[in-house]
Chain A
Amino acid sequence: MSSWKNTFDVVHSELELAKRKKQALDELLAKNRMSQPTYEHIVGSLNDNIDDLESHLKLLMQKMTERADELESQAELIKQFLVSLEMRIIANEIKQDTYEKNKRAFELGLKATEDELTEIKGAITKVI
């Protein structure tokens, strides 16, 4: 996740900067600090850059959404395992120490899954 997040953050900030650069160019044009032909020349390549970054970000968002769905299913599954574990301890099907060991492992897994999910959703919300 962290590498995805890093890429996502870098692309997102680059996109923001590119958009701000376009604004700066617009300001220069409005203030007559830059001629129309020069503006069109510079803004053309900047627009291409913005399009590329947006496509890249869209792709990353898609991947992250898929990953979020996957994590939600994973969290649901771990919760079911926990319920099942509780039922088995009540029915005396497993020993106390096995129960505690498994419960600890499931809880850790659930926490890691939910943390990652929160991080992804936070990143997605930032863009939306």
Chain B
Amino acid sequence: MQRDTRQRLFLDLKNVGPLRQIQLEIKPGINVIKAQNASGKTSLVRGLTSMFSDAVPPAHILALNEVQGRVAVQYGGKSYVKMFRRTPSGEVVASGPMLPFADHRAFDACVAMAETGVVHKITGGGSVFREYLENLSYGKYYGTVSSVAQDLVNELSRELASPRFEKFEAIPLLVTELTNLYLKREQAEAKIEALKSGHQREVQDAAKRKEDKRSELTRQEAMLSELRKELTSEKEKEKQLRSFLEETDDSAKVTTKIRNGILESKKKQERAQKEISRESAHLADLKDELEKLESQYQGKLTERVRGLNALETEHQRLNKAAILKEEAIQQAEKFPEDDPLYGGRLVVEVRRETARKIEWLNKVVEYFQEKYMRRMNSAKVRFNRNINRAFRELELKGFENVFLDQDFGLHVVRENGVQQPVETLSASEKLTVSLILMLAARDTFLPDFPFFILDELTLSYDPARFRRVVDYVKKRVPYVIVTSLTSEGTGKPTVTYEV
């Protein structure tokens, strides 16, 4: 006859911890697993835990001297088998399906073992539960996405600030330097132009002076020619008068007139002669001066402008420097062809793309941080509410309140209203607070998870308080598994049931 598996759960373990082979039935209600020390109670719990969570490493489950082991569970008419195998390198690997309600968070909320999880944390004096709530509320995922996005933002920002982009960032400075070179070059050009036009003016002035002198010389020559004509004419006149004088009689009147005329003509000839001598000397001076001016003009025409060489050299130097600067700017705007990431691309485009990525990632960071905060705050409020309910229902003496503050720090308030640091609580009080937190976590995050496991926590508790805890759990969880130490029995764990 087939067994009814709808309510019950059958556990079959092979080579788990010190257990060679064991089969147990877990019934709805309280299942108390009793055994002596080192007989496999905790291994049994670990084996069962491996079917709904991977929190326990496979190496902690498989028997030390075995290469293969197995945990099989029959539940809801189906069989789930997980195999444990030791590889040649000594590593233990697990394979096989989990139970349908498997949830990795269940280990933190529903498995109370002395050496792991919340109990271990609190007994060790731990008092900040941010990570605990992050795991249970999935806030960790939002936090992780946000953190990864922030890491990418940082990485991209570092990339933008890396030496690869330095040359591009220096372009405004290079443009300023280039502008200064242009300005200096323009100044040099203006000076060269001024020198050249000054020289041109000097040449023109020399030419004008030369032409003026030549005109003066021409005028002088004409004047001299007139004087010579005048002299010749007077000589002719004298000659004529003398011939008249020879032909005339001694009529006093005519002779006197002719002789006066001859005297007058002689005086004019003397004056003309003097003027010719003077003007001839002047003409000679003019010729000398013209010759000098011609020489000056020719000298000016052929001479190199003073200071022009130095200016032209400076201009060439500035021009060369400007070209080099232009080339530097041209090189700075592109990545080198051999750049492994952006070879030959324009830096400004890569910068723009990176900036867009950063902008988008910042939005992701903001979005997921907000999600994280909302989820964590909501989780904390619900968690504190469930802590309060568990605390009230368990009617634990000595405490007034237990809660998490805004930074997820645990506060324990005693009956007199005094806050007590977690590390100063007694062992049983730490255990109580741990269980309250786990029960609140279960109620908050895993209200439908069917197991709650208490592994050997009875040692620190008086029976009445332990009973209240177990009854509280029993009201909420279908399967409560409690391990308990006993000095009786065969050495193999046995189960007793309380429905």
Contact = CB atoms under 8 A, between A and B. Distances in A.
Interface of A: 17, 20-21, 23-25, 27-28, 31, 33-35, 37-38, 41-42, 45-46
A45 B333 CA distance: 16
B326 interface: yes
Contacts of B348: 35, 37-38, 41
A46 B179 CA distance: 13
B13 interface: no
Interface residues of B, number: 18
A20 B179 contact: yes
Contact of A34 (B172, B329, B349): B329
A28 B329 contact: yes
B136 to A, nearest CB: 49
B183 interface: yes
B191 to A, nearest CB: 18
Given A34-B329, A35-B346, A37-B348, A24 B172 contact: no
Interface in B262-313: none
Contact of A20 (B182, B346, B347): B182
A89 B182 CA distance: 64
B64 interface: no
Interface string B340-355: 0000001111010000
A41 B42 CA distance: 68
A35 B178 CA distance: 17
Interface in B211-269: none
Interface in B1-26: none
Contacts of B347: 38
A42 B348 CA distance: 10
Contacts of B176: 17, 21
Contacts of A37: 346, 348-349
Query: Which 9 A/B pairs are nearest by Cβ-Cβ distance?
Result: A38-B333, A24-B179, A41-B348, A33-B326, A21-B179, A38-B348, A33-B330, A37-B348, A20-B179
Contacts of B171: 38, 42
A28 B179 contact: no
Contacts of A24: 175, 178-179, 182
Nearest to B347: A38
- The winner among A20, A25, A41, A46 for most chain B CB atoms within 10 A is A41
A45 B171 CA distance: 12
Nearest to A17: B179
Interface in B151-206: 171-172, 175-176, 178-179, 182-183
Contacts of A42: 171-172, 175
B173 to A, nearest CB: 11
B346 to A, nearest CB: 6
A21 B327 CA distance: 17
A28 B177 CA distance: 13
Contacts of B333: 34-35, 38
A15 B329 CA distance: 23
A95 to B, nearest CB: 61
A45 B329 CA distance: 17
Interface in B314-336: 326-327, 329-330, 333
B493 to A, nearest CB: 75
A41 B327 CA distance: 18
A31 B322 CA distance: 13
A1 to B, nearest CB: 29
Contact of A21 (B175, B326, B330): B175
Contact of A31 (B179, B326, B346, B351): B326
A34 B179 contact: no
A47 B171 CA distance: 16
Given A21-B176, A25-B175, A45-B172, A34 B330 contact: yes
B181 to A, nearest CB: 9
Given A31-B326, A37-B349, A38-B348, 4 more contacts: A17-B176, A23-B179, A24-B175, A28-B178
B198 to A, nearest CB: 27
A38 B331 CA distance: 12
A117 to B, nearest CB: 32
A45 B176 CA distance: 13
A92 to B, nearest CB: 63
Contacts of A45: 172
A7 B348 CA distance: 35
A32 to B, nearest CB: 8
